[in-house]
Structure 1
Amino acid sequence: MADEKKSAEPVTREQLVELLNEDLAREYQAIIAYVVYSQVLKGAEYMAIAKELETHAGEELNHALIVSKLIDYLGGSPTVTAKQVKTSEKAEEMLRFDLDNENETVRNYRERVRQCEALGEYAMAEHIREILKQEQEHQIDLATALGEDVPDVSKMKGKDDQAGRDKGQATLH
């Protein structure tokens, strides 16, 4: 945990808007993926998780609304573009794509909490913590459906914010 705190680089309010817009694009991606996957997963072994994915879609929509409100509060404009959704004919691959996305989302929101607190935006950090709790539940649901332990995302390298750090800003897709 101490290493995680060291890895969070301070950001400006403008950079936080960019990072939150990236998070928002990932929420849009999750909404689309959960809607599609919940309807195309077939087979008795996937009925329970398909129903759970429908619930996840609604929760992700709520997250998108909250993140949009935070972006507006900071004076930014919420993005209208989703990150690309991966698709597959294979149920296990769909669930793997979702788990990978949730892992990235959890890791990023943990960093957002630290960044918000560093800016003195404690209420904003609390909103993100609430989202983070649900994202971690999604992570558990997906790992369980795949018969795996929940990955330790603190040991994973981030794709998106590392690219953003290399450029000095977050990239929007």
Structure 2
Amino acid sequence: MPRYLVLANQTASSPELTSAVRKMVEKKADTEFVLLVPATPVEDLLDWQDGDNETIAKRTAQAAKEHLEGIGAKVVRTEVGDPSPIKAIEDELQRHQEKYDGIVISTLPLQRSRWVALDQPRRIERRFKLPVTHVVGHSVTMTREELINGLNEDLNLELEGLLRGVYHAAAGRGMLGHELRELLKKELPSELDHATFLADKIVALGGEVRIRPSLPAELGAARELLQENIAGERKIISNYAKRIDQASEFGDKGLVIRLENMLASETDHLEQLERLGR
């Protein structure tokens, strides 16, 4: 009967690996699997988990075993191995002296996977002379499409800020209206710069720029205009905080840095608006 060594950690219960194993079982029902989970250092995991790397790896292995058995796969045993995938496989083959028909390696996407960055799948195939099936667990991390959708949302908020700034700068009356006008006029170039960057980034990620900003509400009193701008700034700041986390999860460090700078700029603008309202 066919027997495969499955090497996985953070993607051990991912839909992508589940699908790959299911297809193998459908092709030959008596296929057996040994699940090998490298004890990845805690600091290298996507999400913080309680316990040391060995404890976490054992927990991951047990959960994945139960998950795969739930789709009809025969997982004959699980093992926790060395943090190095190659060393983990080497130890497994020497310790148990079993013959495998191939190795299934499940990794995070390139942007987040140290295994892929180090070309581990191909190195393992060359080293152990066994066919390697590489499965990428895209669903475990932030997808490109989700990030693009979020950036489009941010873009439209920046465009709304531009429209609101132009309208409110013209509509403000009295001393407060004059002070608000000067503050909004000063911030317009920054808002335009943010919007331009976001549009460029969306295209660079392979997405489409979707321009659908809401038009500013018609307000009269300067204090109402001020409160509307404060609410708008709080919204974009909240969005940027979430987008920084998403960009970090996606693995785009340059985008994280740029968004942090934009968040700092928007926070400064919010504080200026709030001081104006006191």
Scaled by the length of structure 1, the TM-score of the pair is: 0.76
Q: Which residue does 2:248 correspond to in 1?
A: 117
Is residue 93 from structure 1 mapped to residue 224 from structure 2 by the alignment? yes
Aligned residue in 1 for 2:215: 84
| Unaligned runs of at least 5 residues, structure 1 | 148-173
Offset, 1:101: 1.0
Confirm whether residue 145 of structure 1 aligns to residue 273 of structure 2.
no
Q: Which residue of 2 aligns with 1:40?
A: 171
Q: Are the counterparts in 2 of residues 66 and 127 from structure 1 also a CA contact under 8 Å?
A: no
Q: Match for 1:58: what amino acid?
A: P
**In 1: Cα distance, 2:258 partner to 2:158 partner:** 15
Aligned match of 1:25: 156
| Other-structure match for 1:136 | 267
- 2:181 is the alignment partner of 1:50: yes
Residue identity opposite 2:275 in structure 1: T
Looking at structure 2, the residues matched to 110 and 11 of structure 1 have their Cα atoms a distance apart, in angstroms, of: 15
Identity across matched positions, percent: 24
Q: Detail structure 1 runs of 4+ shifted over 6 Å in the superposition.
A: none
Q: 1:2-55: per-residue Cα shift (whole Å, max 9, x none)?
A: xxx99xx95311011011101111111000000111111111233222111011
Bigger RCO (CA 8 Å, 6+ sep): 1
- Alpha-carbon distance in 2 for matches of 1:138, 1:33: 14
- Contact conserved, 2:172 with 2:178, CA < 8 A, in 1? yes
Query: Among 12, 17, 22, which residue is 2:143 paired with?
Result: 12
Question: Which residue number in structure 2 is paired with residue 106 of structure 1?
Answer: 237
RMSD over aligned Cα atoms: 1.8
Query: Is the alpha carbon distance of 1:145 and 1:10 closer, same or farther for their aligned partners in structure 2, counting shifts above 3 Å?
Result: farther
Equivalent residue letter for 1:17: I
* Structure with greater helix percent: 1
1:75 corresponds, among 198, 206, 210, to 206
Whole-angstrom distance in 1 between the partners of 2:193 and 2:181:
19
From the two aligned structures, give the one with the greater strand fraction.
2
> Counterpart of 1:66 in 2: which secondary structure?
helix
Counterpart of 1:88 in structure 2: which amino acid?
L
Instruction: Write the distance in 1 (CA, Å) between the matches of 2:156 and 2:275.
Output: 26
Distance 1:98 1:45, change over 3 A: closer
Per the normalisation by structure 2, the TM-score is: 0.48
Distance apart, 1:83 and its partner CA: 2.5
- The worse-fitting range, judged by mean Cα deviation, of 73-82 and 105-114 is 73-82
Q: 2:176 touches 2:223 (CA, 8 Å); kept in 1?
A: no
Q: How many angstroms apart in 2 are the aligned matches of 1:143 and 1:99?
A: 7
Determine the C-alpha separation between the residues in 2 that align with 1:48 and 1:98: 13
Q: Look up the match of 1:170.
A: none
